[in-house]
Amino acid sequence: AGPVRDRFRERLDDVVRRRRGDLVVVVEDCTDPANAASVARICDAFAVPDLYFVRNRTPPRFDPNGEGLRRLSASATQWVRTTALESPADAHETLRAAGFSSVASVLAHGAVALPAADDVAARSALGLGASSSKLALWLGTESQGLSEESVAGCDACVMIPMVG
């Protein structure tokens, strides 16, 4: 092991340490592999270690664990684990068993607008408190949003303000 390899190992260890084990993203009915790859790249950029694809109304046109998604994601899937689940009920059960509170991203009356950069304020506004340190953010499709089943299984609803 030389100095270059040692520096590389230090950087790699630092990246792994900064991964967020307290946040996962759940995407319902993502059928387009390019969209799935974009979400995987965003998860990687924000150090989100897990991305769940939930099938509900529409079957996907890609394998969430397949080679095609890996290539489209610019290797983000080397850092972000992808998991396919068969239904919202399966996803909610899996996440609850792992200690996650789920929040649905919806445009709805009563949805809490997330602050852009303050996790503590966001969790407080959602009424989740410090005991719910693990959060699963649910996202739906552009055309249909999240299904009623997915929203009903969530602990709270959020709205993510678009500022650009």
25 or 78, which is more confident?
25
Query: Could you report the per-residue pLDDT of 65-91, keeping only the tens digit for each?
Result: 778 888 788 888 888 889 999 999 999
Check residue 20 and give its pLDDT: 66
Check residue 59 and give its pLDDT: 77
66 or 141, which is more confident?
141
The most distant pair of C-alpha atoms in the chain lies apart, rounded to whole Å, by: 58
Check residue 21 and give its pLDDT: 72
Rounded to an integer, the average pLDDT of 12-27 is: 75
In the structure, what pLDDT confidence band is assigned to residue 162 with cuts at 50, 70 and 90?
confident
Query: Could you report the per-residue pLDDT of 97-115, keeping only the tens digit for each?
Result: 999 999 999 988 888 887 6
**DSSP per residue, 1-64:** --HHHHHHHHHHHHHHHT--TTEEEEEES---HHHHHHHHHHHHHTT--EEEEE-SSS--SS-T
130 pLDDT more than 70: no
1 pLDDT more than 70: no
Which of 2-16, 27-41, 50-64 is modeled with the greatest confidence?
Answer: 27-41
